[in-house]
Structure 1
Amino acid sequence: MESEHPTPPNRDPHLWKQAQARVGFKQHFRSYVFVNILVWTIYLVLTFGVDRRIGIFPWPLFMTLGWGFGLLAHYVRVYRSGDGPDAVEREYQRLQNQGR
């Protein structure tokens, strides 16, 4: 995946890529929250306002859960992935520290 912004001079390319990934996740999270608030508000207005028969089943639940699983996967990939270039070095340091 090509980065959106090239690495500026005097920057660590790995850290720059990680920073871009984290900013991307934060934007994804904000979109998720905003859209869910909007959709659930529409649902509640239709349920308790205009026509009470429409709100029998909470249809926004499908979007909230489906998108939520995608958001969780995005979070794990960005914040919890141990497969980066530093993973071997971190594991080596951990094993070295255990031997002391």
Structure 2
Amino acid sequence: MNMGPVSIGCVVTKIEEAFDNAEERESTNSTVPPVPKRPMIPSFCTAPDTIMYIFGSCTIQNSRVYVGKTYARDLDQNEKKKMSEFQHKMAERQKVSEG
């Protein structure tokens, strides 16, 4: 479902306003507004080749291993399988945490 562009700046501004006014609202016995939900990540940013996994000084993106910012090598087939399993477990964990 494409909902068009998302304005992150607007959300950040509303969050900042909520926190800035929280003490004043609390002191006047009024209700603090709820913090807005985090916006959804755009669909073009969720493909497997756009996700970067950081493991200490090693980074993996699109089945490529980088040490720092330097390309080191491609993952072999066994490593690709392990990364796929890892990605699946992370996705399941995220579903559980979002409840």
Do the two structures share a fold, i.e. TM-score over 0.5? no
Q: Considering fraction of residues, name the structure with more strand.
A: 2
TM tier relative to shorter chain: 0.3 to 0.5
Greater RCO between the two (CA within 8 Å, min separation 6)? 1
Q: Which has the higher helix share?
A: 1
TM-score by length of 2: 0.34
TM-score when scaled to structure 1?
0.34
